[in-house]
Amino acid sequence: MSDTSLSVAQDSPSPESPTGATIELENLTKRYPGSPQPSVDCVNMEIRAGETVIFVGPSGCGKSTTLKMINRLIEPTGGRIRINGEDVTDMDPVRLRRQIGYAIQSSGLFPHMTVAQNIAQVPKMLGWQKARIKDRVEEMLDLVGLDPGEFHGRYPRQLSGGQQQRVGVARALAADPPVLLMDEPFGAVDPITRDHLQDELIRLQRELHKTIVFVTHDFDEAIKLGDRIAVLRERSHIAQFDTPEAILTNPADDFVSGFVGAGAALKRLNLTRVGEVEITDYPTVTVDDPLQDIFNALRGSGYNEILLLDKRGRPYKWLRRGDLMRARGSLARAGTLVVDTVTRDATLHDALEAVLTDATGRVAVTGRRGEYTGVVDMETLMNSVHELLEADRLDALEHQHDLEEARAHQTHEEQEGTAGGSGGSGEARA
């Protein structure tokens, strides 16, 4: 980066590619002239480096205003902003913004510039060499899953909404900023595309470890993307700032639980992967086994069904006792085909869906190449969910306890401090 860069970039572990910076908001306030109430009132928040924090709240709660104060698109009327410990409240806003990625709804791409020119904007402003910018543009297009050869000469109007949004993210990341601000970036695309874009963002973040502040009004999006979620109520008051698990299992108050909405336990299923729960083993046979072995397995297993695997070890059919008899010993005709399988990376929600739709009440779990690794059934799922919820509840209790202790400690210290202060002055007087 050029010498215009913030110390943000230099302080981070590797100066080549800064991997996120801390953001501290201290008593951040925005008061518009002529309105009695501030729109954002004393927000205090610490965001860790490399963390994805989601601001979620009803419309008009000031979440967008709070976000825009971080890059000072809206100038705060009170409070401080620190990025990686450096106070940026009074630095040149243009310089500050070149160090912070910014992506907005309906992408905000410049319609008169090609995709490549759009992405090159920030590097160009930072004075990068032409060749470096060109390489970077290709790299960014590749990163967001667009073929550089095909897309870089196109104009935004020639792209679909999802593609525009990807370019918007590419532009925000082009100068490799440690912090990325996203203001409802996926608000204007259809649900399927939005789902894809969310997955992409999760993948990107796994690679890049930026500090992302993301504004949305969609709580499900918040759960999916956030390491921590700040639920904001009017005037940007923080109702709860915690992990998605904690918010789902232990909402701080009625406002938060109202926002979480019905089915918190169901939403919790989205946060756990199949790989994290107990996968039971199941008797299996392969299509190459002699029929007699299959008969024996069916009879000796103690299960009503066994799983038939194909030549490459992938789940193929469920075989019931008697199926083979009815099919007169022909494997080709016996049993019911396996319709749905889940991978270890699927969420419990997906697994539950598969279990509920499958006639047998269980679903086969497959590995990377579709090979059988185990089975998840209704009972396992129920047990795991109960365990998860219980663990969450305990965590939340402990967390609350810690908080209370910390608060008590703080109050104690404050009282001590004032007592010490007055004592000191008393002594001085004496």
- List residues binding another protein (CB under 8 A): 68, 71, 73, 94-102, 104-106, 108-114, 116, 121-122, 125, 149-150, 152-159, 171-172, 181
CB of 126 to another protein, least distance (A): 8
CB burial class (10 A; 0-12, 13-18, 19+) of residue 328? exposed
CB of 47 to another protein, least distance (A): 19
Q: What is d(CA 386, CA 400) in angstroms, rounded to the nearest whole number?
A: 21
- Please say whether the beta carbons of 311 and 287 come within 8 A: yes
CB of 43 to another protein, least distance (A): 19
Closer to another protein at the Cβ: 95 or 237?
95
Closest alpha carbon to 160 in 139, 135, 189, 185: 189
CB of 115 to another protein, least distance (A): 10
The total number of residues written for the chain in this structure? 430
Question: What residue type is assigned to position 300 of the chain?
Answer: G
Which tokens sit at 60? 């008009």
- Please say whether the beta carbons of 248 and 267 come within 8 A: yes
151-172 in b/e form (b: 16+ CB < 10 A) is: bbeeebeebebbbbbbbbbbbb
Q: Where does residue 189 fall: left (phi above 0), alpha (psi -120 to 50 degrees), or beta otherwise?
A: beta
- Please say whether the beta carbons of 168 and 162 come within 8 A: no
Closer to another protein at the Cβ: 174 or 331?
174
CB of 235 to another protein, least distance (A): 22
Closest alpha carbon to 60 in 182, 233, 220, 223: 233
Closer to another protein at the Cβ: 148 or 370?
148
Q: Taking the chain, what is the end-to-end CA distance rounded to the nearest angstrom? A: 60
CB of 173 to another protein, least distance (A): 11
Closer to another protein at the Cβ: 62 or 244?
62
Which tokens sit at 395? 């965590």
Residue/partner pairs of 88-94 with CB below 8 Å, 24 or more apart: 88/6, 91/6
Closer to another protein at the Cβ: 122 or 385?
122
Evaluate the CA torsion angle 67, 73, 78, 79 in order and state its sign. positive
CB of 188 to another protein, least distance (A): 11
Q: What is d(CA 294, CA 245) in angstroms, rounded to the nearest whole number?
A: 44
Closer to another protein at the Cβ: 124 or 314?
124
What is the SS3 assignment for 108?
coil
Closer to another protein at the Cβ: 186 or 282?
186
CB of 6 to another protein, least distance (A): 12
Closer to another protein at the Cβ: 114 or 380?
114
Closer to another protein at the Cβ: 13 or 60?
60
Which tokens sit at 142? 């590749």
Closer to another protein at the Cβ: 152 or 228?
152
CB of 123 to another protein, least distance (A): 11
Question: Residue holding tokens 């402990």?
Answer: 398
Q: What is d(CA 372, CA 194) in angstroms, rounded to the nearest whole number?
A: 31
CB of 111 to another protein, least distance (A): 5
Distance of CA 367 to the CA centre of its chain: 24
Q: Where does residue 312 fall: left (phi above 0), alpha (psi -120 to 50 degrees), or beta otherwise?
A: alpha
CB of 322 to another protein, least distance (A): 56
Closer to another protein at the Cβ: 155 or 295?
155
Q: Residue 343 — φ and ψ, nearest 5°?
A: -95, 170
